[in-house]
Structure formats: C-alpha cells, structure tokens
Structure 1
C-alpha cells in the first residue's frame, strides 16, 4: 500500500458514524452509504442459514479480506470459515480460508457489486461469489474463477434455492427469506 492508502485506511477506522450509515473505502476514495433495513435483515438471514446448514464452518460477516490487493481490501457481508480456523476476535480473514463470499448490494454499491468486487474475488481465487440484490429481488452466483474472472454465472429470483459449493458440501440458501426494497 502507498502512504496515502495507509492514511485513508487509518482515517476510515477512526471515523464514527450513525448506525444508519456506512463509510466505504474504494479505489475512488471514501463514500458515505445509507443502509436500508433490507440490507442488514437479509445479511442476518444469510448468516443464520449458513450456521444452520453448513456443518464444520462458522459464519462471519462484515470483515476485511487479507491481503489487500491493489490497495483494496474488500469487506464482504457474509461468508464462513472452517470452525477450527475461526478466531472470534478477528476482524479480517485470509482469502485462502474463504470458499465463498456474499455481498448484499445497496443503491450506491449496485454497480461495484457486479463488476469491481467480482474481479477482486475472482483474482483472489474465491470459488464462489453470491450477489444478493435487494433492489431487484434477484441473486447472481458466480463460480469457477480463472485468470481474475468468474467463468460461470447462475441467476435467479428471490424465492429460489441457491446452491453454493463449499469444499465437499453444498450450502443451500433459501432466498425466499431475503428482503426486497419496496420503492414507491
């Protein structure tokens, strides 16, 4: 990381925000993001399903991925690490522990959720990347990373089952439990 990137990370960690806002550090700088209730509710329901349906793995949410690459350390909304490798006080996990990551997109992150973040996760060799779009009521599962790009895509509507390969298991998420933003 450069000196400026280090400084931005330091500043990001020191700023206190209301719970309804989140500050994101991206390649373009710091961005203030409003959080709808659909986002944390869906995130919590995904984490609950991971805990119930993926034996031997511990769900993790809102953490950084190590190491930073190109000055960027993504912060997925949900994933899981092997239970024997889980450290309760950790706020960052090495990419080689992650078999899949989940991002719940917000209005400001919708474009990045499908492009920038997928490139970063594929470059890291994370086997599956699930994008949950609470704005459209649709999900996209990207798998088979190769040369920094996911080679296989499956999409569906909320209400359909999502099958995510995790080592010798398959995590099946019930997307009917996800919450969609209702716009007037």
Structure 2
C-alpha cells in the first residue's frame, strides 16, 4: 500500500520512514495529491510549505531581475533537483538559475545539479522551515557543487549569499540587509537592488 503523502508532517523525521529509499520517495512524490510538494532532504521526508503571496512576489521579482541582467539564462521557479551527498536527496528549490532549456533532457522530474549556476530559497514562517533552508538545504546544495546559494531570509530581512562549495560545504557566506545592493559573484554576475524587498515584508 502506497503511503498517503498528505499524512506526512512538514518535518517528518527519518525514523518514521526507516525503509524509505530514494526510489520509494520518488514514487511517493509522483502520486502526491495536487498541491502537496514533497522533499527528501538529509535523509528525511519533508512537506514543502505552501508559499504565501509575499513569498511568491519575491520569487517573481528575482525572476524578472535575473532575466533582465542575464537574458541568455532562465530562472526556473519551483525546480526539482537531486541534492545531498551522492545525489541521494531530492529538493524543490524556490528558484534555479541555469541555461535556457537546461532541464529539457532530464529523464524524470528531478533535474541534475550540474550546470545550475545558482539556487534560491525564500524562507517560510516557522523555525523548522527556516532551519531547513539555512542549514539542511544549504548543505545539500553545497554537496552537489552548485556555485551560488541565495537565501532570502524574511524573518531577519537579510540576504545570505553562499559561495565556493568545497567538500560538502560553502566556504564563503556574505549577509546583506534588505535595501543594500547585493552583487552575486561569478558565474552568476548579477547585482540585486534589494530596496524593492522592503515592500514584501509583512
């Protein structure tokens, strides 16, 4: 009997699913009810929080800015990615910057991280959800070598820019308050005028 993903809590621990393999997770995610988005991060089954309107506005703002400054690239909202060591995790990034048609050749819904220039997460309310973005997903993205991880932390009105992935961790982190210009280094090469983000703080 296939488990019902609607019964999974947003932070279901791995011990609740001791036999859950990546293959089992992918099947679970495939049959999830509409509107339920599942992730498998750091060996744990997670339900991705539904974005509120301010969350969506931030993602769309980033999409517009990235495509204005790097029109040869595409910003993919809600992009499924293989992450973690040995790519045994599955995460849905709020956004991924990559070449146009980059994921077209993916054989399934979970795209390979190679060639992705940057991933973006926008925090959702709650300490557990924020910790997932600040620690667990950060480490998963570093493990597969994604060059830049941009975290928009709505709780602290701060942007965190993680770069230089090495041995499963980002070597460099810079933090900028909303309102400051934020240069995103190579290979992204975009500067964010973040004053607009002040409009998206509840």
Question: What TM-score results when the alignment is normalised by the length of structure 2?
Answer: 0.75
User: Contact 1:100–1:166 at 8 Å: present in 2 too?
Assistant: no
- Rounded to whole Å, the distance in 1 between the matches of 2:161 and 2:99 is 21
Matched ranges for 1:58-73 at <5 A: 58-66=74-82, 69=86, 71-73=88-90
| Number of equivalenced pairs | 178
Between the two structures, name the one with larger relative contact order (CA 8 Å, sep ≥ 6): 1
Q: CA deviation at 1:175?
A: 1.8
User: Contact 1:104–1:134 at 8 Å: present in 2 too?
Assistant: yes
Q: Relative to 1, partners in 2 of residues 1:5 and 1:40: Cα closer, same or farther, differing over 3 Å?
A: same
User: Structure 2, unaligned stretches of length 5 or more?
Assistant: 1-18
In proportion to residue count, which structure has more strand? 1
Question: What TM-score results when the alignment is normalised by the length of structure 1?
Answer: 0.82
User: Structure 1, unaligned stretches of length 5 or more?
Assistant: none
Alignment match of 1:6 (pick from 15, 23, 26): 23
Alignment match of 2:121 (pick from 100, 103, 120): 103
Matched ranges for 1:157-172 at <5 A: 157-167=177-187, 170-172=189-191
User: Contact 2:144–2:168 at 8 Å: present in 1 too?
Assistant: yes
Pairwise CA RMSD: 2.7
